[in-house]
């Protein structure tokens, strides 16, 4: 998470999970909540699920009220960022003077702060978990605190390890697309599918359960029961399906009578 006031404070060194740093943020530091201004927070699929449930909104409502759409550079994939307030400092809509009103369900980027993550490889089972850097913003006084951490301790303490685990399949899709030659573009229908699976879990549920999806794909009953009742399982299912239609990978099998029908990838 980067603040326009503190861009010069990003430390370029490469840190591992065992790297040490000192940091503590609390209400008694003079800079409290200043890091929540003039920022661009990219939201992950799990962020959207946590936040829309916290606010008791549907996916459609949350996306319309709190997000802005973008195309991710070098991938042409649709992404979303948190919509900032239209005030003098572009405040986060969830931050008040006494702190964050959605703190237990705050986005992944906020959990990482004051760290940033730059993964070279983000695949299931990958040994290389990427590397980290410090976003040492000029206004931040948290670095003057004496509380010591290792990067791995901070990730666990902030719950970002769970976020990363759930978002792994999504991050892998993004990185795979980034590796494509720039002249290879996704068709609009594929982009819409990527957006729906990634951010509109309610609409994806309708797509799966209220369409001919199960007439076309051979999905076992146990999986159907899981994805019907658990949004995280449904998200994982959707991301694996995306991997299948975009990259022709995975275990999704068309039923014999649907095998000759064209998929999104073929159109």
Residues 133-153: tens digit of each pLDDT: 888 778 888 988 999 999 999
**Residues spanned by the domain of 82:** 7-170
Residue 98 has pLDDT above 80, yes or no: yes
Q: In this predicted structure, what is the pLDDT of residue 109? A: 94
How many angstroms separate the CA atoms of 87 and 226, rounded? 43
Residue 240: which of 125, 161, 128, 124 has the closest Cα?
124
Residue 109 lies in a domain: yes
Tokens in use for 24?
A: 């503590």
Out of 76-85, 121-130, 171-180, give the one with best mean pLDDT: 76-85
Query: Is the distance from CB of 19 to CB of 131 less than 8 angstroms?
Result: no
Largest distance between two CA atoms of the chain: 66
pTM for this entry: 0.86
Tokens in use for 149?
A: 């951490």
Q: What 8-state DSSP symbol labels residue 8?
A: G
Q: In this predicted structure, what is the pLDDT of residue 1? A: 40
User: Looking at 117, 144, 170, which one is the last position of a domain?
Assistant: 170
Residue 2 lies in a domain: no
Report the number of distinct structural domains present in the chain: 2
Residue 5 has pLDDT above 60, yes or no: no
Q: Are residues 202 and 94 in the same domain?
A: no
Residues listed for the chain: 267
Q: Are residues 234 and 155 in the same domain?
A: no
Angle made by CA atoms 44, 50, 51, in degrees to the nearest 5:
90
Q: In this predicted structure, what is the pLDDT of residue 42? A: 95
Residue 177 lies in a domain: no
Residue 124 lies in a domain: yes
User: Looking at 123, 138, 170, which one is the last position of a domain?
Assistant: 170
Query: Is the distance from CB of 176 to CB of 225 less than 8 angstroms?
Result: no
Residue 113 has pLDDT above 80, yes or no: yes
């Amino acid at each position: 998470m980067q603040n326009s006031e503190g861009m010069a404070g990003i430390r370029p060194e490469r840190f591992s999970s065992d790297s040490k740093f000192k940091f503590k943020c609390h209400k008694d530091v003079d800079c409290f909540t200043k890091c929540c201004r003039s920022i661009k927070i990219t939201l992950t699929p799990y962020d959207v699920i946590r936040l829309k449930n916290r606010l008791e909104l549907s996916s459609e409502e949350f996306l319309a009220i709190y997000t802005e759409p973008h195309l991710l550079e070098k991938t042409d994939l649709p992404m979303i960022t948190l919509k900032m307030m239209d005030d003098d400092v572009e405040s986060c809509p969830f931050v008040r003077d006494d702190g964050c009103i959605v703190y237990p369900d705050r986005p992944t980027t906020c959990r990482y702060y004051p760290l940033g993550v730059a993964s070279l490889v983000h695949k299931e089972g990958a040994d290389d978990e990427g590397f980290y850097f410090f976003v040492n913003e000029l206004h931040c006084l948290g670095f003057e605190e004496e509380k010591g951490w290792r990067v791995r301790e901070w990730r666990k303490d902030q719950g970002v390890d769970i976020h990363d685990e759930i978002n792994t399949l999504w991050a892998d899709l993004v990185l795979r697309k980034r590796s494509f030659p720039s002249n290879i573009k996704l068709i609009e229908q594929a982009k819409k599918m990527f957006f729906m699976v990634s951010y509109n879990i309610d609409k994806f549920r309708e797509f799966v359960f209220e369409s001919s999806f199960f007439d076309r794909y051979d999905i076992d009953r146990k999986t159907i029961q899981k994805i019907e009742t658990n949004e995280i399982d449904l998200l994982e299912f959707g991301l694996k399906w995306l991997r299948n239609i975009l990259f022709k990978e995975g275990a999704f099998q068309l039923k014999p009578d649907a095998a000759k029908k064209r998929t999104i990838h073929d159109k």
